Structure 1
């Protein structure tokens, strides 16, 4: 077993709990520092599409009226309604198995899950099917333009519904100070927005340069090439891009890459 610190930036819900449990099982000391918080908009996807795409577990929970923070009537904090959505005759698509499982748990039947769990993977899975079709994309306000542009290029009529906004939680950033002090061994970035928010938190605490220096001596893993590009553009050295777009793969591969240092 190895004993080293791993910063994890998942939203502060069961995803963060699962991430902490996974890292502990790998022998690491998790540093939970949520860089994303969910603000539901109360919007629902259209119900007249030929294909409807969900890109996250959060989206699946929201369309079912089951996201934490909504009451039994589907009313979110602030009064926005999130009643259970009916997909009509649409073919339901999920970006990956986690989203598909979340949909199935709530009574939906996703029929298409791409082999590559990314926006590009969804485009590849659908591009031969959607010429002339109406495609509804239901996701956060920070969704990749790759999905919309790819589907439009394939001839689809695309509509996007923003189900929730992603914001940086107040008080986040403890891991930036740990990195600045040289005490962070591993960082696992799950999206470009987690990179951006981490750097904003470092700026807010006045430790950006020192935090970047600390990351240069740590092992940095990311999900997806776009996240890697965002990190590199910000001056962060990326050591690993996860072979699969899941946190489990990211954490396991990054810890395995870092671990040999601790066995010398």
Structure 2
């Protein structure tokens, strides 16, 4: 059974990721690299479009009692769409490409002169804001939550440094950065990178792949669909 490192937040997603790997005959190495810290902010309610990029954002605005008014609600990714609809929001736009670039392309001809509210974490890509602004929209960003690294994170860095991982699944650029920060804390950054480069490394999306490779981590797998299950299955198939 291959040992596969998983870095999802420990808010239910980590456990579900582990269960998925176990059903595929793998041993998950659960090492959460992200922790959600809500800001208490809520989006504006006078926009023409309201953009959400995560399940967490959908849940936070629902809990706060926010309503979109007359805005068309947009979701990047199927998991975000499902979360928004589960919370009772009607989703009007889901780009074919589950990325900031994909949403900009989907809205480019629609948002000129209109107000667009972007509600997300503090680590969102500038690609979304810049692209919508260039398309002629008046863009406002609300930071719904901050993403920090849990103090206890890092067990996977020692496993990687010892050559004791068969694969690692990075779901965002921030999980890559936090993995390397945890390795720095343990004095094993170079060895951890070497260990990952002897394993199979998968990333969700090109931005995450680029972040990893810029830091010396060779990426073997980038699935076509931007979901954890697709990432895990593609890495297992590669193994």
Q: TM-score range by the shorter chain?
A: over 0.9
The yes-or-no answer on 1:107 pairing with 2:53 is no
Alignment of 1:224-239 (within 5 A): 224-239=205-220
2:160 aligned residue (155, 179, 183): 179
1:90 aligned residue (71, 78, 85): 71
Q: Residue 11 of structure 2 aligns with which residue?
A: 13
The yes-or-no answer on 1:166 pairing with 2:147 is yes
Q: Which range is displaced more, 231-240 or 39-48?
A: 231-240
Give the C-alpha shift of residue 244 in structure 1.
Answer: 1.2
Give the C-alpha shift of residue 144 in structure 1.
Answer: 0.7
Distance 2:31 2:138 in 1: 39
Q: TM-score, normalised by structure 2?
A: 0.99
1:29 aligned residue (23, 27, 30): 27
The yes-or-no answer on 1:126 pairing with 2:124 is no
CA deviation map 1:215-255 (0-9, x unaligned): 11100000111111111111111111121111111111011
Q: Residue 207 of structure 1 aligns with which residue?
A: 188
Unaligned runs of at least 5 residues, structure 2:
none
Distance 1:232 1:21 in 2: 28
Residue 13 of structure 1 aligns to a residue whose secondary structure is coil
Distance 2:88 2:209 in 1: 35
Alignment of 1:234-249 (within 5 A): 234-249=215-230
1:140 aligned residue (121, 125, 128): 121
Q: Residue 41 of structure 1 aligns with which residue?
A: 39
Distance 2:156 2:6 in 1: 9
Distance 2:119 2:188 in 1: 37
Number of positions where the alignment pairs a residue of Structure 1 with one of Structure 2 = 239
Unaligned runs of at least 5 residues, structure 1:
66-82, 259-264
Q: TM-score, normalised by structure 1?
A: 0.89
